[in-house]
A = this chain, B = another copy of it.
Amino acid sequence: MANTLRIGIAGLGNVGVGVLDIIRKHEALLADRAGVAIAVTAVSARDKAKDRGHDLAGLKWFDDPVGLAKSPGIDVFVELMGGEGDPAKSAVEAAIASGKHVITANKALLAHHGAALARAAEAKGVALNFEASVAGGIPIIKALREGLAGNRVTKLFGIMNGTCNYILTKMANEGRSFKEVLKEAQDLGYAEADPTFDIGGFDTAHKLAVVTALAFGTEVNLKAIEIEGIEAITLDDIRNASDMGYKIKLLGVAVSHAEGVEQRVHPTLVPKGSPVSDTDGVFNAVVVKGDFAGDLMLEGRGAGAHPTASAVLSDIIDIARGNLRPAFGIPAAKLKPYRQAPNKAHEGGYYVALELVDRPGAVAAIARILADQRISIESIVQRGKPSKDLQRETATFILITHDTLETSIRAAISKIEQDGHVASKPRLIRIERL
């Protein structure tokens, strides 16, 4: 490695340029921290002619990222192209095969092929570092892999998608509808033209799959995640939740049970004042429960060119300092096969919104159904609602349950629907407490 660690960057979008920004601004500081000089020596991107605000004349250019990955002129291959398939996958594989350390910000690649790539990197004795793949500038990968290395992690959850958090925060603070805020976010460039990947919870799920594997020492399993997005969250839900002392956030949650692992992504009520409840706008936050360290929260900028590039630099300096760990904290051969916890294992509180057909005995009947399922109630709000259809007056009936089993609450709601007490589909949102 001599006195310079030679970096090759594949993908010169915002994050790639951010990495160049840091390396050029902090040249001397980085050398002190790394113990060697850090220099970008080669790059690969689609368009060579594009002005990126940096003089690339001294760098070797590759049209093909796989060519860069194999180049003898680099020690570290930084993959910032994204996407679970090629060219990212073949480039990362080529880099590992030719003995290069790999750094990637690519959560999709890791969520789909993380365990296989970890095995390949280990066989070659090279690093596979991915601090930038989850929660941008927040060093959550390092905290899980190293900071909490003395702990068995029992649970983690977090806000890992800035677009969703921005939308939910705006809805809550400005009393505007999901549709309206989404439109604005798209106009401002915070949300994609097709926002499904973010608002549908899929981006969060990719990140959750990565941190779950790291936290629990299991194989990465994206398919096991139950995913629900924020599209159906109404302003009424946000207001009702707020009245009852909660905020609504899109969380990724992973729990390690004796029976297996539970992973889910869904809108969630979090008690006001609890960690993550004040994580607003584009900020991200992750809470981890360690069996010895207790509860730990990390909060910060989850996206953006410079926070993400800061994470890439942390990975680069780890390599320079010889801090080479197995990708998922333990040898890949020791990662446990993923074992799915049965759905009924989930236990928690629930927010239930019912559009009640306002007739005598409805509330009593519902209370009876809940009691039969041994569900106890934390709070209830009922609001009359002016109805256009005078023949069929309805009232919004909101209740918050104490901890109960997922199967019990679903059975109760199913019974409430069958018995004709509601005018529309009941809405159920999980509550998450530390």
A302-329 CB mask vs B (1 if < 8 Å, else 0) is 0010110111111011100111110001
A-B contacts, 29 listed (Cβ < 8 Å): A22-B150, A26-B151, A29-B152, A32-B217, A32-B330, A32-B331, A32-B334, A33-B149, A33-B330, A137-B290, A137-B296, A139-B146, A146-B146, A147-B314, A148-B310, A149-B317, A150-B316, A275-B278, A275-B299, A292-B309, A293-B300, A293-B307, A293-B310, A294-B307, A296-B298, A296-B300, A297-B297, A318-B323, A322-B323
Nearest first, the 6 A-B pairs at minimum CB distance are A150-B313, A139-B147, A137-B293, A323-B323, A296-B300, A293-B310
Category for how many chain A residues contact B: 35 or more
Chain B residue contacts of A295, Cβ below 8 A: 300-301
Interface: A18 (CB within 8 A): yes
Count of this chain's copies in the oligomeric assembly: 2
A316 to B150, CA, bound (A): 9
A6 to B136, CA, bound (A): 37
Interface: A215 (CB within 8 A): no
Chain B residue contacts of A275, Cβ below 8 A: 278, 299
Nearest opposing residue in chain B for A31, CB measure:
B330
A296 to B322, CA, bound (A): 25
Min CB distance A279 to B, Å, is 9
Chain A residues numbered 108-156 whose CB sits less than 8 Å from any CB in chain B: 131, 136-139, 142-143, 146-152
Interface: A273 (CB within 8 A): yes
A328-341 CB mask vs B (1 if < 8 Å, else 0) is 01110010000000
A136 to B150, CA, bound (A): 13
Q: Which of A18, A29, A318 has the most CB of B within 10 A?
A: A29
Find out whether the CB atom of A147 lies under 8 angstroms from the CB atom of B152: no
Interface: A105 (CB within 8 A): no
Chain B residue contacts of A296, Cβ below 8 A: 137-139, 298-301
Find out whether the CB atom of B33 lies under 8 angstroms from the CB atom of A329: yes
Nearest opposing residue in chain B for A30, CB measure:
B150
Contacts from A to B (Cβ < 8 Å): 18, 21-22, 26, 29-30, 32-34, 131, 136-139, 142-143, 146-152, 217, 273-275, 277-278, 290, 292-301, 304, 306-307, 309-314, 316-318, 321-325, 329-331, 334
A330 to B32, CA, bound (A): 5
Contact among B18, B294, B314, B331 for A148, CB-based, below 8 A? B314
Known contacts A32-B329, A273-B278; 9 additional CB pairs below 8 A are A18-B292, A33-B325, A33-B330, A136-B293, A137-B292, A149-B313, A296-B298, A299-B299, A318-B323
Find out whether the CB atom of A306 lies under 8 angstroms from the CB atom of B278: no
A217 to B148, CA, bound (A): 25
